[in-house]
Each structure stands twice: as structure tokens, then as C-alpha cells.
A and B are shown apart, each in its own frame.
Chain A
Amino acid sequence: MKALLKRKFSLTDSGVEAVRRAAFASFLVNVGYMALMLIAMHYGDNVLQGVMKPAWYYLGIIAVTLVVLYVIIDREYVLTFNATYEEATALRLEIAERLRELPLAYFSRHDLSDLAQTIMQDVTDIEHAMSHSIPRCIAYVFFLIVMAILLLVSNPVLGLAALIPLSVGLVLMFLSQKAQKRWTEKYFWKTRETTEAFQEAIELQREIKSCGFEEENYKAVAASLDNAERLRLRAELTQAMPILLSTAIMKLSIGVIAVVSAALLRASAVQLIYVIGFLLASMRLVDAVGAMEDYFAEFFYLDARVKRINELRNTPTQTGMEIDLKHFDVELRDVHFAYNEETNVVNGASFVAKQNQVTAIVGPSGCGKSTILRLISRLYDYDSGSIIIDGRDIRKVSTDALFDKVSFVFQDVILFNASVLDNIRMGRPDATDEEVRRAARQANCEEFVLKLPEGYDTLIGENGSKLSGGERQRISIARALLKNAPILLLDEISASLDVENERKIQEALNRLITGKTVIIVSHRLKSIEKADQIVVMDSGRVDAAGTHEELLEKSALYRRLIEKSRMTESFTY
């Protein structure tokens, strides 16, 4: 039961425990409501037998029942809600941590912003289900089973009359969920084009306008929307019908009991008080479902959400030993890698990047140079061959141990909506404020930081939106300076087009690379001319490696690249 709950609703151990307790409380609530019906039945029995009990007798029973009921419902409420939000927070944080452990390959298969929002929304839905539908639905089913046994024992024929419509309804509800799932999947693919047409219309609006293409485009999108509407109506028909019928069929049990009991009474096969009892009991069961209609829908609807979260949990993370690496030569031996089955991006690359040296990787776009950096940092794991640091294949080194020694300055700067100080401090969380400031100064950040309204404590907006491109780049360099890791990977970072900023970034860079194993990917061939080693890549392979002078001798590709860049630079309009 516990394992089932965990799997079915993707809960933690404490979450399962909480649901169990809440479901038990909810079961008691059901019993309590039925007790009210029992009082009614008791009264009926007395009247039919001609016994008149005084009013205070019933008053007493009712008062006691209500007090007990109050306590139970209150407990149920507190139990469900408290557990829910604790569980939801735990789940959100767990997912966030989990995401960070996953190899980047996982993310390239998913749309990033969708992923984030879906997950937060998924948890919100699970949270809502936990506080409403899960315990109540479980409790109801158990209660129904108990009641079914009692009803069947006391009168099998009436019992069946009450239970058949009820269970047919429940089964229909369950089946309709399956049908719905099938439809939704089918529908998803068919309407995907609508979404895409819509997105295209937004993204390409400038092009649409400048080609005077508005009317035609509107018609195409509108037609696609109309088509989607028809499809969805049909989908709704197949899924709404059974759900609606299910509750209606359950209600029928009252009518069926009336008909059957009339027949039984006629044959004197049943006592009147049983008829009353059955009517009251099944009305209670039916009303309970009526009030829970949406809960049941939610209960069944959770599947897809849970599946997504479970998929996340079950994606294997990268493993490896915790080793304190001491030597930082990076050696690639016949490395192969593909983002997807279609094409190999890295196709047998081999070279050595020495400690205290700058190794530059150059080559036409798509040659795999940026990918190499991602492989060295284990953001992706290569398919075959090996990358060796300190005598070990890095696939056998834990990412934690590796990340301690690697810094990566990305071409697309990523900043977070936090203070300047915190953004830089990410480089080394235990750094003092002074250390952070020193890194900022070295990266030429201080002059603009001090101009911000609250200096280092200024919140810099979503992805640093309040800063210019060059300023953002410098913060990311400060971050790497603070970390001061012995292996430094730089990806096309001198691509800024702002002359003044560029010089400051360059100065900061030169401070950053001192005394490390530096691997730099660059398309500005001139800037890396003096590197200790230049690796020329072509279609995932190393075409040639050596110093600038050596390459001019031996690599035709390098000569061609140099020639092209010369032509670009000397071009005038």
C-alpha cells in the first residue's frame, strides 16, 4: 500500500505517512456522516414499532455525535493541509536539486522554460490533490467497501440494487480517464501545428509585416484554429460523456432501490425498516460522490504529472569517485560524442592541454569546438574514448570533485535575480565580502557596480537585465576569478561588440588565465595567435595542432581561416 502510494503519487515517505493519516481521518468523517443517517434510521425504527422516545433522548444522541464529528473533521482538515504544504515545499526543493544533478543531455531533450513551469505546476497540482482528492478518494473507496459488505450481509438483493449502479458509475469514471488520456495524446499531436502556427506568427511578425503578408497569414492561422476547435470538441465529447454519465448512474441507485424494494415489500420479502436504511445509506454514498465529483476527476488526472516527476527521478545521474585531483593536464584520447543519434559532433578528437599553458581551439562553426569544453567539464558525457585528468578518466570522477577544479565562462552569460555580491559569490559560496569585492575589482566590475543604486547589494533583475552586455560578462568573469579553479574553460567570450567594454573584458581575462590550464574556444584568430598551442578542428576531428607559426606551415584549414578573417577585416563597404 505504502509503496503503491509512493509510486502512484510520487510522494516522499513522510508524505505517504501524512496521506495515510489524512485518509484515516477522512474515513472516520465518512463514518460520522453515516452515523447521522443511523440516528435517522433509529428514529424510524422506533416509530414503526410504535415506541415514542422523549425528545431529549434524540437530542442527547445528536449532541454527542456532533461533538465527536466536529473533532474528527477538524483533525482531518489540519492533518491534510499541514502535511500538504510541507510535502510540496520538500518536493519542489528536491526537484530543483535533482535537476542540478542531471546531465545536460536531459535538458537538451526538453524545452527549458516549459520544463521549469511544468514542474512547478505539477507540484502545485499534486499539492492540491494531496490536500483534497487523494486522502478523500482513498477513504471513500475503503468506506464504500465496508458499507458494501454491511449492505450485502443485511440484505443481498437490496444490497445489489444499491451497489450495482454505484460501482458501475465508479468503473465508468475510471475507464473514462483512460479514454481521455488516449484522446489527449492524440489530440496533442494534432493541435501541435496550431500552437506552432501561432508561435510562428508572433515570432515572425516583423517579417510578415515587411512582406505585406498579414492577411494571408491570419487566414492560415485562423483556419488552423478552427480545425483544432473541431478536434477538441470531439475529444471533449468522448471524455465528458462517461464522467457525466458515471455520477448520474450512481444516482440511479436511489431509484433502483425504490423499485426493487417496492417489489420485495409486495412479496413481503423485506421489512420496511430495511428499505429505509438502504435508502438513507445509499443516498449518503451518492451524495458523497456528488460532492467529490471534481476530486475524483483530479485523482485520476494526476497520472501525467506524477509520470513527469518520476521520469525526472529515474533519469540516471552521473556517478564517479570523490577524488581530490592534483595535476591538471587535460588529455583527450579519441573522444567521440553525439547529442543525438543522427550525427557525431565530436568524432575522434585527441590532444593534450598542459597545465600553465593556454590551449586555443579554433575551427569553422559546427566543428565541435564548444562541445569539447562541455565534455571536459562533464556537462555532457562522451560516448567513447577518454578524457584524462591526473591519470584518471573523468567519467570515473564524480562531478562534485571535478567541478571543484573546473571553472567555465560561458559565451551566454547567466546571471540570477540576486544582488551583485551574491551573483559573484556563486563562484565560492564561503568567500568573504572582501574577497568578493577583490574579484570584482580584478574583473573591472567595481566602477560600474559603485554607480548602481545600492552598489554591491543592488538586485540586478532577471538574468541581470539591468546591466549591459559587457557588464554582465565582467560579472561572470569575476565569478570565475573568485572560484580560482585550476582548469579554466572559456567559450567565445570576447565576442562583445562594444569597443570600450571589450578592452575592459580583455584586461580582466588576462588576469583570470594566469597560472592555469586554460582552454579557450575562439573565433577571433588574431587574439589567440600567441597561445602555447592552437588546436584546429574540423568536423569533430583534430585537423592539426601546434603554435601559430607551425600551423601556418602544416594546416591548410588554418591558413584558410586566417585568410578569411583577413578578408573580413580589410573589407570596406
Chain B
Amino acid sequence: MIYKKLKTYVPERAAFAGIGVLLALAAAALSIASYYCLYGFLRKVIVEADVAGAVPVAARVVVFLIANTVVYFLALWTTHMLAFRLETNLKKQGIRHLMGASFSFYDRNESGRIRKIIDDNTAMTHSSVAHLIPDLTTAVFAPLLGIPLAFHVDWRMGVLFTVSFLSGMLFIRKMMGDQNFMKQYMAASDKMNSGAVEYVRGIHVLKIFKTSVQSLKEFYRSVTEYADLALQYSMSCRSWYVLFQIFFNAVFLVTLFFGYGGGTEPRVHLAKFLYYALFNGVLYLALNKVMYVGMYTYQATACIEKIETLFSEMEEKKLSSGQCETMEDTSIEFRDVTFGYEEQKIVEHLFLKLEKGKTYALVGASGSGKSTLAKLISGFYQLDGGQILIGGQDIGAYSEKALARNIANVFQDAKLFKKSIYENVRLGRPGASRGEVMEALRLAQCDEILDKLERREHTVIGSKGVHLSGGEVQRIAIARAILKDAKIIILDEASAAADPENEHELQLAFANLMKGKTVIMIAHRLSSITGVNEILVIDEGKVIERGSHKQLMAYDSAYKKLQEEYAQANEWRVRV
């Protein structure tokens, strides 16, 4: 049951669930006790005409009602403590998993979406659990404890009460309508929501092209279909709903006729009848709660499922890391490597050797697999076949730390922490001296950035009034990489385009970073790579040509064609 599963996430407060149940049970008992006293009161005033004796009985009704409130509140409080801890723990687990997730997970899932899944679902799980336990307990035990009381008053009432309770359960199943519906409904709602996101994101285009909602057929349809589905569902529950309402509000009237069996004194029967009329509500309320409980359980199950799916996706293709802490030799070898993000393979049976200390440029059309090749070297992807060796050792033999320390990735979309520039750079090597940090900043061409800022390197990223362009962020990230002094550098030159008029500074920063390292660079500006040690032309995940610029230009190579096209595109002018 869902409930057990949830408990495994909060071992430290597992007992709270039990306490919550016990408290809710006690509250239900107190509530039934108040009805018992109410019955006593009715007997005193109607049958025994003992008005003086009625006063203390009436007072007891009040006392039990108050006690019921207090105890129920405590029950709720306990389960809320449990639920809050559950939410926190699920989120912590989320962070744990996120930190361990493979890079291919992040390639496939956008960060905003991940956060939303975790946030939304943990919050939902929380609210379900907070109410699930006390409500379920009350819904079940209030009627159960009511049965003996009803029998005590009159056995026929006991039977009626039991029968109504059981048929109530049946009613609820019927009223829930089609069980598959909830799934359909969720799917329709998701579709509508993603349509809405798309709509808002493209709002400037929709404005300029005067596109109406109706002409965005997919979105429009998702809105109307959602409503139709919801209405259909409501209507499918209609007659059962109506019958339920009538049955449980009127069923007490059956007991009126128990007085006609003969033998019972009319006033005695009247007291019993009135008691039942007042007591009947217990059942009605309990069944109402059962319906909510059904909803909460469904929600909790769906949410925990979504979270666990996400977690297991993170675990997928996760790498096991080895013990080797040092990396002396940085020559790289691909041995029969096969890899794909999904079913489709991007790289198949690839063999490739790269020497240490040299600079390699990968070129090729977008989608050729050049970025993938570079990423695989980082060691954060699980191969589908073959192995990658660094310094003659399988990449898996190195510890995660060794890989992180020795391989620096310069990503296209570099990001900085909300710390000072100085601290951001120092993260590259926490033991670095101030002089070293400042030197790294200088080499990454950041001096000019610091000059613009009042607090220079102590400026906190993301604070008010601090605006850095994409290229500037990139340069600070490069300073971090320079400080880290990793032996292998993987960089994507596309990042240079982030900030065209500062592209040259970025080029200089890259050049400083690359000095004396083994470099794998994804080249876009083909004019800049003419001097690298070797150029690898990638097409459909294969190295189709390799050699120096001179060698490749000497014959009718694919590389030569690319260079010519590049030059041509570069010479293009807006025609007038």
C-alpha cells in the first residue's frame, strides 16, 4: 500500500503515523460518546420526564464534544509533522539523486521541468498524507464504533445502520465513475497545460502575426476536450450522486416505522427515533470523508510514482567509478565505442586515438555527433559498448573526483554560483592563493570586467544592478577552469558567439586555457583552427578525415569543402 511506501521515506517519524491513527481513533470514540449522552438526554426528557437529571447529561454532551475537538486536533498535528518531514525528505532525496544523476539525464531533461516535478509532487504528497491518515481513520472508525451503540439502542437500528454503512461503500464506488477516467483527465490536463506554456512563450509571435487561439488548433482543441471530458465524467456520476444524497439524508425515516411493530411504548420509540435522526449524520459525514480519502490516496500514489520514476531515470546509465585517484598520462583512446541517448545510436563502433598534449578540433555539420564525442570524454556518460581509455586505463577506473579534477569542460551555457566572482573562480581549486585567483582572472581576460564593477572581484553574482553579458559570464567560468588546471580541456567554441564584440577576448581566454593541455575543441569558426595539431572531420558519428589543416586542404577533402562554404557564408552580404 502506498502508505507503507511513503513511510520508508520518513523512518525517523514512522511512529507518528501510528500515533496519528490512535489519536484519530480516540477522537472518533469521543464523538460517539457524545451521541450516547445525547440519547441519554432524550430519554430523560421524553421518557422519564426527569428534567433535573437531564442537566448533567447535557453537560456531558458538551464535555465530550470539546474533548473530541482537542484530540482530533492533536491527531492532525501529528500527521502534519509527519507530512512535512516527508516532503522535506523527498526533496533531500531529490537533491541526492540529482547530484548523482548522469549527464545524459540532464541532456534529456530541462532543469525547470525537473524542479517542477519534484516541487509539485512532493507538495501534493504532503497534503495527501497530512489529511489521509486522520480522515481515513475517522471515516472508518466513527461508523464502526457507532454500530454497537445503534444495537444498544435498538437491534433493528443496529441492523439498519450496518446495512447503510455497507451500501454507502457501494455507492461511493459507483459515484467515483469510471476509474480510468482519472488518468484520461490528467492526460488532458497535462496537454492543455503544455499548450498554454507554448502559447505564452510564443506570445510575441502570436501578437505580430495576429494569431487567434482558435487557429492554434492543437491548443484550442485541448481546452475544449478537457472541458468535455470533465463534463462527461460529472454526468456519468449524476444519478448515483443524487441517490446517495437522498438515501443518506432520508434513511433515518425508516426507523419511524419501527414504532408500528407493536409492543413499544410510543414515547420510548420516539426517543430512539430522534436519537437515530440525530445520529444519522455521522454516517453521512464519514462517507463524505471516504470520498476525499479516495482522492487523496489516488493523488499520493500518482505523485510518489512520478517522483520515483524521475529518481530511477536519474539512476539510469549512472556510472560506477573506480579507485584511481591520479591521472598521469592524458592520451585518449576510443576502443569500439557505441553510444546513443535513446534507442538511436549516435556513435557506433568508433576507434580513435588522441595523443597527450595536443590540440584537436572537431568539425562537422550540426547533428554529426561531434559534441557527443567530446562529451563522452568527460566520463559522465555510460557507453552502450566499447571503452574509452585515458592514459591506457579505462575511464571507469578513475574515481569521480579524479575525473572532475583532471578534465575541464567549458560548456556553451556556462553558469555561475550566486557568490562573489572571487569565490566563483576559487571553486576551481579551493586551496588556491589570492594571487593565483587573480592571475587566472587576468588570463581569462576578466580584468576589463572587474574594472566595470564597483566591488571588483568581490561583486556578488546575481545581486542587484550586476549585469554580465553571456560572454562575460563565460570568461569568469574560464578563469575558474584555468585555476583548476585540469590536464584535459574540452571546449565548445560556439560559446564565443554569445557576445560577438567580445568574441576576441574569449578567444584569447580560450587560448590561455589551452596552453600545454590535451585539448578537444568543437570548432565553429573554421578560420580559427588552421593552426591546431589535428583536425577531425566528423560525419554521422564517424571520423571521416583527420590531419592538419595543410594536409586536409591539399586534396579534395570534405574539410576543404566545409572551409570553402564557410568562407562563402562569411562573405555573404545583405543584398540591396
Contacts and interface: CB of A to CB of B under 8 A. Distances in A.
Contacts of B257: 55, 58-59
B201 A527 contact: no
A228 B84 CA distance: 10
B13 to A, nearest CB: 11
B419 to A, nearest CB: 10
Contact of B189 (A119, A124, A379, A509): A124
State the 7 A-B residue pairs at the shortest beta-carbon distance, nearest first: A248-B69, A255-B62, A258-B58, A287-B281, A523-B500, A116-B200, A414-B202
A62 B250 contact: yes
Contacts of B8: none
Given A59-B257, A252-B66, A272-B45, 10 more contacts: A29-B245, A37-B277, A85-B230, A199-B111, A211-B480, A225-B92, A229-B87, A244-B73, A265-B54, A568-B504
B99 A217 contact: yes
B215 interface: yes
Given A259-B55, A426-B211, A573-B510, A240 B574 contact: no
A198 B250 CA distance: 53
A418 B199 CA distance: 12
Nearest to B571: A526
Given A81-B234, A116-B193, A400-B210, A233 B215 contact: no
Contact of A262 (B51, B278, B529): B51
B26 to A, nearest CB: 15
Contacts of B525: 568-569
B258 to A, nearest CB: 11
B182 interface: no
B52 A212 contact: no
B565 A104 contact: no
Contact of A225 (B88, B199, B245, B500): B88
A209 B99 contact: yes
Interface in A454-503: 459, 462-463, 468-470, 479, 483, 494-495, 497-503
Contact of B359 (A96, A520, A573): A573
Interface string A561-573: 1001101111111
Given A462-B194, A469-B366, A248 B574 contact: no
Interface in A79-129: 81-82, 84-86, 88-89, 92-93, 96-97, 99-100, 104, 107, 112-113, 115-117, 119-121, 124, 127
Nearest to A71: B242
A200 B106 contact: no
Contacts, number: 442
B530 interface: yes
A426 B511 contact: no
Contact of A258 (B38, B367, B531, B571): B38
A68 B208 CA distance: 57
Interface string B268-297: 011001100110010011001000100000
Contacts of B202: 414-416, 463
Interface stretch (B301-309, B329-337, B344-352, B410-418): B410-418
A236 B568 CA distance: 66
Contact of A572 (B61, B231, B239, B527): B527
B196 A119 contact: yes
B102 to A, nearest CB: 11
B91 A291 contact: no
Nearest to A283: B278
A573 B511 contact: yes
B99 A81 contact: no
Contacts of B562: 499
B210 A77 contact: no
Contact of A526 (B59, B91, B405, B573): B573
Interface stretch (B145-153, B216-224, B382-390): B216-224
A81 B573 CA distance: 62
A499 B526 contact: yes
15 contacts: A40-B252, A47-B259, A55-B257, A88-B227, A117-B197, A212-B405, A218-B95, A222-B92, A258-B38, A279-B274, A403-B208, A499-B562, A506-B569, A510-B575, A528-B573
Contacts of B510: 573
Nearest to A201: B95
Interface in B186-240: 189, 192-213, 215-220, 223-224, 227-228, 230-231, 234-235, 238-239
Contacts of A55: 257, 260
B218 A418 contact: yes
A262 B192 contact: no
Contacts of B527: 569-572
Contacts of A201: 95, 98-99
A268 B312 CA distance: 74
B16 interface: no
Nearest to A40: B277
A153 interface: no
A503 B569 contact: yes
A47 B270 contact: yes
B541 interface: no
Contacts of A513: 574-575
B215 A74 contact: no
A74 B237 CA distance: 11
Nearest to B531: A572
B249 interface: yes
B552 interface: no
A305 to B, nearest CB: 15
B190 to A, nearest CB: 10
Contacts of A152: none
Contacts of A202: 98, 111, 114-115
B497 A427 contact: no
Contact of B206 (A93, A100, A218, A290): A100
A93 B235 CA distance: 23
A206 B218 CA distance: 36
Interface string A33-58: 10011011001100110101001001
A255 B34 contact: yes
A382 interface: no
Contact of B285 (A287, A422, A501): A287
A63 B525 CA distance: 88
Given A528-B573, A568-B504, A74 B529 contact: no
B31 to A, nearest CB: 9
Interface in B554-576: 562, 565-566, 568-576
A360 B574 contact: yes
B206 to A, nearest CB: 5
Contacts of B477: 207
Contacts of B55: 259, 262-263, 266
Contacts of A205: 98-99, 101, 106
Contacts of A463: 198, 201-202
Contacts of A50: 266
B573 A104 contact: no
B532 interface: yes
Nearest to B208: A408
B315 interface: no
B459 interface: no
A538 to B, nearest CB: 11
A81 B232 CA distance: 10
A113 B61 contact: no
A144 interface: no
B96 interface: yes
A527 B277 contact: no
Interface string A205-248: 11111111110011001100110110011001100110011001
Contact of B278 (A52, A280, A379): A280
Nearest to B229: A85
Contacts of B65: 248, 251-252, 254-255
Contact of B216 (A84, A259, A418): A418
Contact of B73 (A241, A524, A564): A241
Given A44-B274, A262-B51, A414-B204, A429 B211 contact: yes
Contacts of B503: 564, 568
Contacts of B401: 212
Contacts of A99: 199-200, 203
